[in-house]
Amino acid sequence: MGSKKEGEVKKSKEGGSISIILRYGDWIDVVLMLMGALGAIGDGMSTNVLLLFASRIMNSLGGSNDNNSETSMSEVEKVRLLYT
């Protein structure tokens, strides 16, 4: 007749850190979590890189003083080569 009722689960005093998640997973789970974290970082950066690329192309198109299409296309090709 203790203070605990039957079926009551003892709560752990540990915080919710990453070590608790990694403690129960095997090496495949750890590798998959690392790949997911890297994928999330890449996905978050992709929008910013696309905006940077598009802004440089727009600046090269609108920044030329003359309306010569060869000059403007060469500027666009310079920007394109930076990102390939």
State pLDDT tens for residues 10-53: 555 555 677 777 788 888 988 998 999 999 999 999 989 888 88
Report the alpha-carbon distance of residue 39 to residue 33 in Å, rounded. Answer: 10
Residue 7 lies inside a defined structural domain of this protein: no
Instruction: Give 65-74 pLDDT, tens digit per residue.
Output: 666 666 667 7
Alpha-carbon 32 to chain mean position: 15
Range of the domain at 49: 18-82
Name the pTM for this structure: 0.50
11 part of a folded domain = no
Q: Please check whether residue 25 lies inside any domain of the structure.
A: yes
* 60 domain-assigned: yes
- What total number of domains does the chain contain? 1
